[in-house]
Amino acid sequence: MTPCVVIPDNAALLLNVLVRLEVRCHHDSQAIAGALERPVLELGGQSISEALRQPIDVDCLRQLREVAGTLPLPR
């Protein structure tokens, strides 16, 4: 697996993606793991974790931040 390389200017956006997921999933680590792996229509059917494994830029991070804040949660 190739690690996500983030330049310093984008580090805050990446952190915000992860914080949004944590808040959205009510700090439940299993729910967070599931949310990271769930395919998302807004990302072309790929998951947030798949998107983070690819070369990433500020536009991609902004899209991930938006998705992380609105991701539907399983009941």
Judged against a pLDDT cut of 70, whether residue 2 lies above it is answered with: no
Do 72 and 31 contact (CB within 8 A), yes or no? no
User: What are the residue ranges of helices labelled H in the chain?
Assistant: 8-24, 29-37, 48-52, 58-70
Do 42 and 63 contact (CB within 8 A), yes or no? yes
Per residue in 30-75, pLDDT tens? 999 999 999 988 889 999 999 988 888 888 888 888 888 887 766 5
- pTM (2 d.p.): 0.75
Rounded CA gap, 10 and 26, in Å? 25
Do 43 and 51 contact (CB within 8 A), yes or no? yes
- For residue 49, the Cα-to-chain-centroid distance in whole angstroms is 6
